[in-house]
Amino acid sequence: MISDFPGRKFECEAVFSLNKKELKANIGNIKQANITVRNFPSSVAELRKRLKLMDGGDTYLFATTLADDQKVIVKCHKS
């Protein structure tokens, strides 16, 4: 951890695909989350609708495409 880092810091809880089983296991009872999309085919609005999540809360979901073209969601919280 870099103590004087000038940006936001997140602690990664999980990295998972859009597979129904993985989504249910990792998102389960979360009602709201902050969603960010980078290099991902879906928009924030589309993901929010698909995942049935409201905006806000302590959970951060980053949707991205890895170097091997795998589409994943990174679940984090601020540290």
Query: Model confidence over 27-58: pLDDT tens digits?
Result: 988 999 999 999 999 999 999 999 999 999 99
Helix H segments across the chain? Answer: 20-27, 44-51
- pLDDT of 75 reads 97
Domain residues for the domain of 71 are 10-78
In a domain, 4, yes or no: no
Residue 30, in any domain of the structure = yes
Q: Is the pTM of this model over 0.75?
A: yes
Q: Could you give the number of structural domains in the chain?
A: 1
Does 48 fall in a domain? yes
Q: Tell me if 1 is assigned to some domain.
A: no
Q: Is residue 2 in some structural domain? A: no
| Distance, C-alpha 58 to centroid of its chain | 12
Residue 3 counted as domain residue: no
Provide the phi-psi class of 23: left if phi over 0, else alpha when psi is between -120 and 50, else beta: alpha
Q: What phi and psi values does residue 16 have, to the nearest 5 degrees?
A: -145, 160
Amino acid at 56: G
74 within some domain: yes
